[in-house]
């Protein structure tokens, strides 16, 4: 297909998840047996970087292992297209402003070719099929799909304060979907039918390079490689350099905490792989210029590792840091929060709606809404490692119950069955 990149992630075995819940495992395999051979096509905007690509790298092979004929297609578009879609993303997360008519027309016209190609491909296929459109970047493709195709729209973003004009622009496409999946009940637009809206949380793969157990020797090796001193306290946030992730607020909290913890170091890991986020490079460069003279502040925005090594480095960073932060201002769902919790870490999260359902304040981590509050919690967790360990254990328990891929697969399988 000329307008799409077909992605083929490495295979995975769903059988490995049996130990995380026999009941969910049995329900998944029973549903999958009834759906065997179903064509499922997931479409998104990029194959690398960002939470959606992270999810699909695991969901596609697991669906295939369960007997579904799942495919992953990412649209091929120029950089200008992603500047427009990033603006749509920001508007939907509450930024003021509007999409101009030329921007709307450009966005829609760019998707005409991919839409026609996808529609033609699906019309030539025999048997039942489901298309899953991930996020607004590909939403208008729904206009070109055959009426016989069941369409699911998966919105991964925080819509609690969505710009009304942007939501109005996308409404005709959302209204055509048979199901709309969101990560929180508050993300459902009021006009969207409750009966067609499903709440499903994202999830992580506990067996991936990013999440599997690591020895202390491996953790130490990676920290030494980047000149980070494990003998001194380390504060870390793993996120794209996106204003919604509030990297400036994290840095402010770091300097406030450093008044009480003079040896504190900060690592902001945000390697820019996602082509659909052109804003990240500018944010990274601005921060790099401003804080280049602080030897205790590590800003990582360029990729110096292979994919496998990078995943292991993030794993090591989340395990080796004394405090893990995700101080997002808006967050549909923080996969990096779940990753750190799975490693038994107490996470300090911003007061975004998505993070509030992952972190129960004071029970398995902390919720903060200012740099000063964040700094206070950083100092507290560094000075009280037993508290950090206790909260971390409860965080891991919550992930095991709700945020692993066995539960996510069950959600999707039940939606597929309801549609076909």
Residues 189 and 43 grouped into a single domain: yes
Say if residue 201 is exposed, middle or buried (CB neighbours under 10 Å; 0-12, 13-18, 19+): middle
The per-residue pLDDT for range 177-221, each reduced to its tens digit, is 999 999 999 999 999 999 999 999 999 999 999 999 999 999 999
In a domain, 208, yes or no: no
In the predicted structure, residue 310 carries a pLDDT above the cut 90: yes
Q: Output the 3-class SS for 31-99.
A: HHHHHCCCEEEEEECCCCCHHHHHHHHHHHHHHHHCCCEEEEEEECCCHHHHHHHHHHHHHHCCCCCCC
pLDDT tier for residue 274 given thresholds of 50, 70 and 90: low
The per-residue pLDDT for range 40-67, each reduced to its tens digit, is 999 999 988 788 999 999 999 999 999 9
In the predicted structure, residue 367 carries a pLDDT above the cut 70: yes
Query: Structural domain of residue 232, as residue ranges?
Result: 216-402
Structure letter (DSSP) for residue 329: S
- The model carries a pTM of 0.94
Residues 231 and 90 grouped into a single domain: no
Residues 172 and 228 grouped into a single domain: no
In a domain, 87, yes or no: yes
CATH of the domain at 44: 3.40.50.2000
Say if residue 71 is exposed, middle or buried (CB neighbours under 10 Å; 0-12, 13-18, 19+): buried
Across the beta sheet with 197-199, the strand order is 4-7, 69-75, 39-44, 129-134, 150-154, 179-182, 197-199
In a domain, 210, yes or no: no
Domain count within the chain: 2
Residues 254 and 148 grouped into a single domain: no
Distance CA 144, CA 116 (A): 6
Distance CA 306, CA 333 (A): 26
Virtual CA dihedral for 86, 240, 281, 251, nearest 10 degrees? Answer: 120
The per-residue pLDDT for range 145-157, each reduced to its tens digit, is 999 999 999 999 9
In a domain, 211, yes or no: no
């Amino acid at each position: 297909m000329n307008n799409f990149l077909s992605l083929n992630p490495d295979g995975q075995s769903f059988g490995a998840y049996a130990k995380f819940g026999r009941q969910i495992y049995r329900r998944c395999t029973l549903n999958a047996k009834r759906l065997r051979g179903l064509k499922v096509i997931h479409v998104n905007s990029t194959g690398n970087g960002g939470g959606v690509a992270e999810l699909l790298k695991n969901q596609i092979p697991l669906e295939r292992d369960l007997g579904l004929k799942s495919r992953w297609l990412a649209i091929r578009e120029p950089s200008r297209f992603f500047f427009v879609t990033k603006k749509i993303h920001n508007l939907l997360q509450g930024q003021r402003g509007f999409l101009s008519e030329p921007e709307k027309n450009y966005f829609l016209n760019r998707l005409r070719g991919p839409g026609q190609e996808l529609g033609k491909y699906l019309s030539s296929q025999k048997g039942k099929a489901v298309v899953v459109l991930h996020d607004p970047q590909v939403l208008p493709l729904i206009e070109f799909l055959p009426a016989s195709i069941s369409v699911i729209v998966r919105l991964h973003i925080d819509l609690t304060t969505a710009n009304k004009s942007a939501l109005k622009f996308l409404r005709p496409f959302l209204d055509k979907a048979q199901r709309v999946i969101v990560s929180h009940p508050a993300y459902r637009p009021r006009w969207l039918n409750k009966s067609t809206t499903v709440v499903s949380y994202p999830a992580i793969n506990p067996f991936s390079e990013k999440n599997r157990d690591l020895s202390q020797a491996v953790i130490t090796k990676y920290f030494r490689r980047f000149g980070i001193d494990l003998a001194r306290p380390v504060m870390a946030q793993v996120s794209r350099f996106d204003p919604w992730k509030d990297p400036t607020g994290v840095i402010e909290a770091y300097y406030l905490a450093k008044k009480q913890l003079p040896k504190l170091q900060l690592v902001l890991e945000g390697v820019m792989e996602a082509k659909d986020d052109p804003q990240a490079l500018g944010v990274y460069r601005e921060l790099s210029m401003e804080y280049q003279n602080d030897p205790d502040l590590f800003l990582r925005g360029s990729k110096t590792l292979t994919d496998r090594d990078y995943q292991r480095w993030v794993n090591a960073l989340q395990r080796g840091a004394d405090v893990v932060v995700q101080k997002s201002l808006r967050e549909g769902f923080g996969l990096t929060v779940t990753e750190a919790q799975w490693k038994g870490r107490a996470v300090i999260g911003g007061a975004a709606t998505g993070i509030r359902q992952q972190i129960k304040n004071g029970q398995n981590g902390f919720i903060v809404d200012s740099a000063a509050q964040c700094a206070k919690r950083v100092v507290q967790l560094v000075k009280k490692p037993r508290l950090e360990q206790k909260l971390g254990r409860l965080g891991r328990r919550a992930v095991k119950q709700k945020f692993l891929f066995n539960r996510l697969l069950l959600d999707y399988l039940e939606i597929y069955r309801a549609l076909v």
